[in-house]
Amino acid sequence: MEKIYKACDENQELKENYFLKINKNVLKKDLKEINAIEKLFQYFISEQVDVENGKSAKLLYEELGWNQNVSYDVINSFWITFSYAMRLKYPGKYRIAKAGNVKIYKHHNTDWGYDSFPEKYFKENSEERGQVNDLCKEYPDILKLADMCHTVANFMPCPERFNSVKGLLGDVRDYLPLMIDKIQLCVDAGKDLEYYHLGSLQKVDNKIVKDWHSFFIKNQEKYCLSMYYQVKKTELVELRFLKVNLYLIHVH
């Protein structure tokens, strides 16, 4: 454990340097001029996707010894929590009922001719900007969450397919602790992981789920994931690490 923490400390400066490199590629404004939510919104409306798989991020993985993996993911999804907080505060104006609706409000779609919520936010005197400002006044911790998510420290190696399945499961909503819990339930029951996507039933074979299970047991310390779940013998136990009312949003 001491060796892991020492390695993390030694790479802190490296992380900060790559953080700046990555963000300079996706932001249109100087980093000092905007808050963390605006930084994320700028990323959402940029052409860059899956920044955790970008070239700069992979250089960092190489320095950390994480480059033996082929798949990567973000640990915490800011957009999911933000969207449900907006839905709770503005139920008549911010419509989001299913996971599939999320990207409609997050990314621009020229085929349908609509502006995403982040694009509307950056328009002068927009209603969306006022809504976000009021949300932050009522729940100032939302800015802290944005800060946590807008950093390379929010990246992690993961097994193949894990990234996409974690984002598609309706009862997980892209949250790592909930996904860990889902994996453990499937392992305990000896069942495949089943979910619906675009109206059709999808499955992850139980053998693959067990491989995921082994991955998170083996790599908890290596990938600095101890704050997200605990390992008890061969079991993964969900650990909620943010105990603020804003983050304890019910998942339907």
pLDDT digits (tens, 9 = 90+) for 91-102: 888 876 543 345
Residues 209 and 228 in one domain: yes
pTM metric for this prediction: 0.73
Residues 72 and 197 in one domain: no
pLDDT averaged over the chain? 76
Q: How confident is the model over 75-89, as a mean pLDDT? A: 88
How far from 74 is each of 50, 58, 114, 196, 251, CA to CA, in Å? 9, 14, 27, 22, 19
Residues 181 and 122 in one domain: no
- 115, 133, 158 - which closes a domain: 158
More confident residue, 46 or 204: 204
- Specify the pLDDT at position 61: 86
Q: How confident is the model over 185-200, as a mean pLDDT? A: 92
Residues 36 and 154 in one domain: yes
> Is 190's pLDDT higher than 90?
yes
Q: Which residues does 41 contact at the CB level (< 8 Å), separation at least 6?
A: 118, 121, 122
Residues 22 and 135 in one domain: yes
> Is 122's pLDDT higher than 80?
yes
CA separation for the pair 66, 36 (Å, rounded):
26
Residues 181 and 149 in one domain: no
Most confident range (mean pLDDT) of 18-22, 152-156, 171-175, 209-213 is 209-213
157 — pLDDT class (breaks 50, 70, 90)? very high
- Specify the pLDDT at position 17: 45
- Specify the pLDDT at position 68: 82
Residues 142 and 166 in one domain: no
Residues 230 and 208 in one domain: yes
113 — pLDDT class (breaks 50, 70, 90)? low
Residues 190 and 133 in one domain: no
Residues 172 and 236 in one domain: yes
**Phi/psi-derived region of residue 125, left when phi > 0, alpha when psi is between -120 and 50, beta in every other case:** left
Q: How confident is the model over 81-100, as a mean pLDDT? A: 76
Residues 83 and 33 in one domain: yes
Residues 163 and 193 in one domain: yes
> Is 20's pLDDT higher than 50?
no
Contact 106, 116 (CB under 8 A): yes
- The residue segments making up the domain with residue 78 are 1-158
How many domains are contained in the chain? 2
- 158, 192, 211 - which closes a domain: 158
More confident residue, 170 or 135: 135
CA terminus-to-terminus distance, the chain? 38
- Specify the pLDDT at position 153: 84
